[in-house]
A and B are shown apart, each in its own frame.
Chain A
Amino acid sequence: MTASSNNKDLLTIAGKSYQSRLLVGTGKYKDLEETRLAIEASGAEIVTVAVRRTNIGQNPGEPNLLDVITPDKYTILPNTAGCYTAEDAVRTCRLARELLDGHKLVKLEVLGDQKTLYPDMEETLKAMKTLIADGFDVMVYCNDDPIAAKKLEDMGACAIMPLGSLIGSGLGILNPHNIRIIMESANIPVLVDAGVGTASDAAIAMEMGCEAVLMNTAIAAAKDPVLMASAMRKAIEAGREAYLAGRMPRKKYASASSPLEGLID
Chain B
Amino acid sequence: MASPKVAVLVFPGTNSEVETWRICRDVGLDSDVVHWSRAQTLPDYDAYVLPGGFAYEDRIRAGAVPAHDPMMDYVIEAAQGGKLVLGICNGAQIVLEAGLVPGTGPVRKPTAAFTKNGPVPHFVCKHVYLKLAVDPGRCAITAALERDAVIPAWAAHGEGRLAATTDHLQEIVDGGHLAFVYAHADGTVDERATPNASALFCAGLTNKAGNVLAIMPHPERDAWNFNHPRRREGTDILAPSGGVKLFSAFAKALKS
The answer to whether A and B interact is no
Contacts from B to A (Cβ < 8 Å): none
> A interface vs B, CB < 8 Å?
none
